[in-house]
Structure 1
Amino acid sequence: MNELNHDLGIIALESCATLGNAIDKYIQEQRNTTESFLIPLDEIRFANGEGKVKISETVRGRDIYILCDVGNYSCTYTMFGFEHHKGPDEHFQDIKRTVAAIRGKAARITVIMPLLYESRQHRRKGRESLDCALALQELERLGVDEIITFDVHDPNIQNAIPLLSFENIYPTYDIVKALVCNEKSLELDKEKLLVISPDTGAMDRAIYYSSALGVDVGLFYKRRDHSTIVNGKNPIVQHEYMGRDVEGKDVLIVDDMIASGESVLDIAKELKNRNARNVYVAATFTFFTEGLDKFNKFYEDGIISRIYSTNLTYISQELNDAKWFEAVDMSEFSARIINRLNHGKSIAKYLDATRIIHTLLNK
């Protein structure tokens, strides 16, 4: 047996149970077996809020993949009689507890965090913490062999762990496939469609989408009030646009995440004021931290047509039921990656989706 081809074990933490079950089913299909690869795990909380994890099955000599969604705010526990929702810090602590419970008995440990922990705090401005780098280094010290994430806010964060395998995967193909299959009126023509970057930081992503789709790209940049801080950031004064005229065109805004959605809604309004036909949004992660009411209103008013996002982080039932929202299932794609890595095969072809996007569009 190839030394890289160890028995597969998947530990799906509570936050990633649904995705983990779907991945397990796909791997069973790929391997033509009914045997589950999921390893049972108990995430235990004491009444004072302390926690531990307990693995009830052997992991010795196995190739272990730990799945955790640090953005899943639906996970709760009881502390001193009060119900608490788990935040990213508590989810990350459960990853560390899981690695500690394995106690070096596994042949290899891979942590799959689709939403990278603290990825928004990826660089230091002034006297402040650099949380994402610290977290990655902590996982390295604990003995994790590889970290897999999706569409990280700033890929340069991997420089914090230069000797650790770090794979940043983009869901571009699956999002593009969902878009072109669902939007029948969408025309992939330079005169009919334009890709929009909502800020300078997302420009590389927008250029990739535009290149894959064969259309042009436009840019909004944010003028901020740097004399004021609101909710930890400088408020946006105005969105300025650079690019081709959008009148009569469909536009696709692409970004890595939607938090409150304020920027996306402002840009969508600006685009409709410039007589854009349909405004679509593609984001890897969607949080909607301030609720869905504004988005419902913008959809009803015809300002946004559809938002596409992956199921790599928690999607509430309310969001899933929204007419303007389309969830892009990433479980089969994730299963293929785990399956190939477990067999010691390269995943290079999954890191650049340009070829398969072109094949899809040519059909």
Structure 2
Amino acid sequence: MEEQKITKIPFGQLGVIVHKSCKELGQKVDDYIVNRRREEFSDRCSEYHLDEIKDSYIIDSDIIRFANGEAKAHLKESIRGKDIFILADIGNYNVKYNMFGIENRMSPDDHFQDVKRLISAIAGKARRIHIIMPLLYESRQDKRNTRESLDCAMALQELEKLGVENIFTFDAHETRVQNAIPQTGFESLHSTYQIIKAMNGLDEEVCFGNEQMMVISPDTGAMDRAIYYASVLGLDVGLFYKRRDYKKIVDGRNPIIQHEYMGAEVAGKDILIVDDMIASGGSVFDIAKELKQKNARNIYVAVSFTFFTNGIEKMDEYYEKGYISKLFSTNLTYIPEKFKQAEWFEEVDMSKLISLLIDTVNYDDSISPLLDATNKIKNIFGK
């Protein structure tokens, strides 16, 4: 079963604060919660349950920006005693504000500062505060190599000190960053089930048989994810590892010299490349081209977050050349309209899972069934 029945009383009256970076996703989440609770309580007429049926659980709020760039959060209704969930997309680069007459795009730093402003506006009046940050702030800087900052750990500790009880994210780049806040709830959920479900329902030519498909990890960091996909689908797994030039630094990283492949023969097989995100897309392009040279058939890419920081022109080119057949990516972070309209792009909606997460936590049920999608994936194929 994908959903659990509501069997307990809530920890507190539900309130969802949706930051302007996450309006579209937040509205979908709210709609799911409203419809589910109406169905659950339709045959119960107690005064308590009637109080739980609302047209919306979104708290009216705003971030007011001053002309010099400073800002403040404003909550336009009472949150006293409520179980508050703050939903924010720190990766949304399409949110803008005026500063000294100049239009600026909000950075992840700006979004995270707004989250702290919203917590400050709550002023300790809420019963609990939970943060749902699908793209974890500063998750790419999760460990120290030399004299470097530990931004993600510091951010998590800031939220802990502000009284946040639980932090929820998706496909965290490195889950061990939760060691920075051992007394605060931290969970990284996965989009595996939703992506496989989207692949299975989209194209009849996609065959998940062991003789027809295999899973590829684009680097050693994504190997655990690739092994999970391969295990639950009963497929072989392969690995590319990156040879880097450690004498140079380009855009904050050591440039990749070459991708080396280790694994079974890919000739004649469909390939599923899985990773947590696509940044510029350079690694995926190189790997897809090399797999095609090894006579792979169709190449599918499945990620939780898609950025294409250098634009999508090369992705368009690789689609036209047949190097990449389809890219599956979630709506957990901002997706430009030109991505959505591209023939190679398939959006995977995650709003239902987020709504289930909010309902489950609000009713103090276990979220373990939401963390492990193995049985649900097997049910897709009748295994």
**Do Structure 1 and Structure 2 share a fold, with TM-score over 0.5?**
yes
Separation of aligned partners in 2, 1:34 and 1:146: 24
Separation of aligned partners in 1, 2:216 and 2:8: 46
RMSD after superposition: 1.1
Q: Counterpart of 1:241?
A: 261
Superposition pairs of residues 19-58 of structure 1, within 5 angstroms: 19-32=25-38, 33-58=53-78
Per-residue deviation, 1:333: 1.1
Separation of aligned partners in 2, 1:288 and 1:229: 20
1:210 maps to a residue whose letter is A
Separation of aligned partners in 2, 1:189 and 1:197: 18
Q: Counterpart of 1:213?
A: 233
Separation of aligned partners in 1, 2:285 and 2:257: 14
State the identity %: 56
Per-residue deviation, 1:5: 2.4
Moved more, 33-42 or 263-272: 33-42
Match of 1:261 among 258, 281, 294: 281
8 Å Cα contact 2:218-2:287 kept in structure 1: yes
Per-residue deviation, 1:183: 2.2
Q: Does 1:153 align with 2:173?
A: yes
DSSP-derived class of the 1:289 partner: coil
Separation of aligned partners in 2, 1:250 and 1:242: 17
DSSP-derived class of the 1:362 partner: coil
Q: Counterpart of 1:17?
A: 23
Q: Does 1:117 align with 2:137?
A: yes
Superposition pairs of residues 179-258 of structure 1, within 5 angstroms: 179-258=199-278
Q: Counterpart of 1:358?
A: 378
Q: Does 1:293 align with 2:299?
A: no
DSSP-derived class of the 2:155 partner: helix
DSSP-derived class of the 2:248 partner: coil
Per-residue deviation, 1:273: 0.5
Separation of aligned partners in 1, 2:288 and 2:199: 18
DSSP-derived class of the 2:35 partner: helix
Separation of aligned partners in 2, 1:362 and 1:262: 37
Q: Counterpart of 1:325?
A: 345
DSSP-derived class of the 2:334 partner: coil
Superposition pairs of residues 268-347 of structure 1, within 5 angstroms: 268-347=288-367
Q: Counterpart of 2:44?
A: none
Q: Does 1:99 align with 2:119?
A: yes
Per-residue deviation, 1:36: 0.5
Deviations 1:24-55 (A, max 9, x none): 00000000145200001111110100011100
8 Å Cα contact 2:83-2:128 kept in structure 1: yes
Deviations 1:69-123 (A, max 9, x none): 0000000000011000000000000000000000000000000000000000000
Q: Does 1:74 align with 2:94?
A: yes
DSSP-derived class of the 1:109 partner: strand
8 Å Cα contact 2:217-2:240 kept in structure 1: yes
DSSP-derived class of the 2:381 partner: helix
Return 5+ residue gaps in structure 2 as ranges.
Answer: 1-6, 39-52
8 Å Cα contact 2:238-2:263 kept in structure 1: yes
Q: Counterpart of 2:3?
A: none
Separation of aligned partners in 1, 2:357 and 2:217: 28
Moved more, 187-196 or 113-122: 187-196
Relative distance call for 1:61 and 1:93 in structure 2 (3 A) is: same
Separation of aligned partners in 2, 1:249 and 1:329: 28
Separation of aligned partners in 2, 1:44 and 1:271: 50
Q: Counterpart of 2:161?
A: 141
Per-residue deviation, 1:2: 6.7
1:8 maps to a residue whose letter is L
Separation of aligned partners in 2, 1:253 and 1:137: 34
Q: What TM-score do you get using the length of structure 2 for normalisation?
A: 0.93
DSSP-derived class of the 1:340 partner: helix
Return 5+ residue gaps in structure 1 as ranges.
Answer: none
Separation of aligned partners in 1, 2:374 and 2:130: 26
Per-residue deviation, 1:4: 5.0
8 Å Cα contact 2:85-2:132 kept in structure 1: yes
DSSP-derived class of the 2:276 partner: strand
Q: What TM-score do you get using the length of structure 1 for normalisation?
A: 0.99
Deviations 1:254-307 (A, max 9, x none): 000000000001000010010100000000000110000000000001100000
Per-residue deviation, 1:188: 1.5
8 Å Cα contact 2:195-2:302 kept in structure 1: yes
1:358 maps to a residue whose letter is K
Per-residue deviation, 1:180: 1.1
Separation of aligned partners in 2, 1:329 and 1:338: 16
Separation of aligned partners in 1, 2:8 and 2:336: 42
Per-residue deviation, 1:3: 7.6
8 Å Cα contact 2:9-2:363 kept in structure 1: no
